[in-house]
Chains A and B, each alone.
Chain A
Amino acid sequence: MSAVPAIEHLLAARRLRPAETLPWLIALSIYVFLPQYLLLGAQIFGMVLFALSFDLLLGYAGIVTLGHAAYYGAGAYAAGLVAVSGWTEPITGLLVAGCAAGLLGAVAGAVILRTSGLALLMLGMAVTLLLGEIVNDLPGLTGGADGLQGISIAPVFGLFPFDLYGRTAFLYSLAVLFLAWVVMRQLVNAPFGRSLVGIRQNPARMQAIGVPVWRRRLVAFTLSAAMAGLAGGLSAQTNQFVSLGVLSFDLSGTVLVMLVIGGPGRLYGAFVGPAFYMIAQDSLSKDQPVFWVFWIGLLLIALVLFTRGGVLGILDVLRVRFRRGGAA
């Protein structure tokens, strides 16, 4: 391994590996073979997008925050309010959601990123809680605690209406996720993404070699917020409803849990985690929600104690062992 120069590793990461087509092949085969799961699938894509945005922040830039729901919620309410006010075209509505969340992220990030540690954690949380209170206090505009209802979305491209079976929702979410994945993949393998990893590992050294650390982190925060806003907007459009829960502490925790289960900082953890979590939740928590919470808790503790890098990290370890075993 050490004989290969580091640059080879970086360049190899940019080449498309066959396994990277797996999520998309699985998604398309679900569309064809398991049509009863289309609505669940669309929801999973939304959460994958949300987790992907969080991965840029947590996995790459190493910013630990418990307030990412603020941007998801901002996107959801932006998309919902645009639709309620009469602009029902979905794609521009989604762009509005992304821009609104990105703007909020730029402003909040400029404030939050001046701190670190506990203060950063708390300020991130405070943004979510503040937004939640504001939305709750403006029932005339946002529906308050009842959630934003009466969202109607025009057909995508004027051709594909959102149907009850979730066909359009599924493909629309998948397409948005795919585009976001292409952008994210480019981003994290570009010098920008590598410099974020460098900043996570040693900010002082990165500053010393001339990287504008603070600005890089702010850009990452803004991009991540915008992408979280897209995820929120997607959920508002496909569910045609926004609940006040999108601005909760719980959602920030859930996305963290999902990403940690999948494995942060490796792009595909954001695919594996939400899919695993939501499919398991869908099948396990119906009869026994208490046990579901219990097992997820145990899983998190076990992940921290015994592995690094979630489910994908475990697979990596197994693969290395398997190869060694084969060679011997």
Chain B
Amino acid sequence: MNALGVTTSILFDGAAYAMVLYVTAVGLSVTMGLLGIANLAHGAFAMAGGYVLVALMGRPGLPFASALLLACLAVAIASVVLERLLYVRVYRAGELDQVVLSVGLIFVATATAQFLFGALPVPVILPTALRGQISVPGWQSFPIYRVFLILCGAGVFAALWFGIERTLVGARIRAAVDNRAMAEAIGVNTRQLFTIVFALGSALAALGGALGADVIAIAPGYPLEHLVYFLIVVSVGGLGSVQGPFLAALLLGVGDTACRILAPQFGAFFVYVALFLILLVRPSGLFGRA
């Protein structure tokens, strides 16, 4: 492969990976920024999205699109139940309680997934429209699935940006992130807002998990194995922001893919070095407010 080809595939594969990371992790960024809770179990919602998709497409034989929609809806509902029952009790508790609660949830989710679906990754059968390649004449061909991922990621980003920056609900969310007490004082129902944001974040995680099942395999170890990458997206992107995680996910996705292609013997070494240096210089993330 020539240099141009290598660069193209790094950028292309990296962008597809980045979009999966973004859609999955952006909910975590917003919930952490808004609710101030370290929900390490966020990956479990993504995994649940993948499993529900597989289960709905399996015996009931639902088509991909409606199964995807139902999966997001189911995970969002489940997450609201969990938020009302469990998370609400650690909002005002320390970091430690939040970490322990979410580690407990990760364990329960992992064990349940392994019990129901076995230890091996479950395959997601893509609809025929998403299989195959698009070939650009005079250049190279690209798998449709990854093009679709990139488009979805960009779509989610645009929708979120519009929702947060241009709508009334978005303005309320921004107000609550900035100063919860003041937002409440001027009549914003932050309690209700929290639940909405939590449900939305979990639905997006489910979407990311289900859509990205071919990039990040759905297996019981998912919530713990990929937690580090989700947290990198959130911490480098900056808490409570929509744009930050997008750029952070792009950096991470392309950087990680480049490392894998150009220097596979080093694994993720350079990614971790970069993370370390970035957080050292900007502890609140590249795009977070100091």
Q: Do A and B bind each other?
A: yes
Q: Is A7 an interface residue (CB 8 A)?
A: no
Q: Are B100 and A300 in contact (CB under 8 A)?
A: yes
Residue of B nearest to A118 (CB): B235
Q: Which listed residue, B32, B108, B110, B276, touches A130 by the CB 8 Å rule?
A: B276
A111-B280, A118-B38, A137-B265 are contacts. A297–B100 as well, Cβ < 8 Å? no
User: Which residues of chain A in 62-77 are interfacial with respect to chain B, using CB atoms and an 8 Å cutoff?
Assistant: 62, 64, 66
Interface with B: A119-127, A215-223, A312-320, which one? A119-127
Contact of A122 with B86 at beta-carbon distance under 8 Å, contacts A133-B266, A304-B104 already known = no
A-B CB contacts (within 8 Å), total count: 126
Complex contact B111–A290 (CB within 8 A) = yes
Binary CB contact string for chain A from 264 to 278 against chain B (1 if under 8 A, 0 otherwise)? 100000000000000
Assess whether A264 is in contact with B38, with CB atoms less than 8 Å apart. no
Binary CB contact string for chain B from 31 to 60 against chain A (1 if under 8 A, 0 otherwise): 010000010000000000000000000000
Q: Hey, which chain B residues are within 8 Å of A66, CB to CB?
A: 99
Interface of A (DSSP majority class): helix
Within A217-271, the residues touching B (CB, 8 Å) are: 249-250, 253, 256-257, 260, 264
* Contact status B272-A126, CB under 8 Å: yes
Which residues does chain A contribute within 8 Å of B112, judged by CB atoms?
294
Does A30 touch B at the CB level, under 8 Å?
no
Contacts of B32 in A (CB 8 A): 118
Query: Does B26 make an interface contact (CB < 8 A)?
Result: no
A126 to B103, CA, bound (A): 18
In the docked arrangement, what's the CA distance between A297 and B105, Å?
6
Q: Would you call B104 and A299 a contact (CB within 8 A)?
A: yes
Contact A114 B283 (CB under 8 A): yes
A contact residues, range: 35 or more
Of the stretches B9-17, B90-98, B156-164, B181-189, the one at the interface is B90-98
**Which of B99, B101, B112 has the most chain A CB atoms closer than 10 A to its own CB?**
B99
A257 partner residues in chain B, CB cutoff 8 A: 100, 103
A residues near B94, Cβ cutoff 8 Å: 62, 64
Complex formed: what's the CA distance from A117 to B96 in Å?
A: 10
Q: Are A294 and B275 in contact (CB under 8 A)?
A: no
Q: A64-B99, A118-B235, A300-B107 are in contact. Are A290 and B114 (CB under 8 A)?
A: yes
CB closest residue in chain B, given A122:
B235
Max chain A Cβ within 10 angstroms of own Cβ: one of B93, B105, B111, B269: B111
A134 part of interface (Cβ distance < 8 Å): yes
Contact B228 A249 (CB under 8 A): yes
Report whether B269 and A134 are in contact in the complex, using a CB–CB cutoff of 8 Å.
Answer: yes
Q: Is A291 an interface residue (CB 8 A)?
A: yes
Contact in complex: A64, B96 (CB < 8 Å): yes
Instruction: Please give me the residue from chain B that is nearest to A250 by CB atom.
Output: B224
B107 to A294, Cβ gap below 8 A? yes
Which 10 pairs across A and B sit closest by C-beta, in order of nearness? Answer: A297-B107, A300-B104, A294-B111, A297-B108, A301-B104, A119-B283, A115-B283, A133-B269, A293-B111, A304-B101
Chain A residues within 8 Å of B, Cβ to Cβ? 58, 62, 64, 66, 111, 114-119, 121-123, 125-127, 129-130, 133-134, 136-137, 249-250, 253, 256-257, 260, 264, 290-291, 293-294, 296-301, 303-305
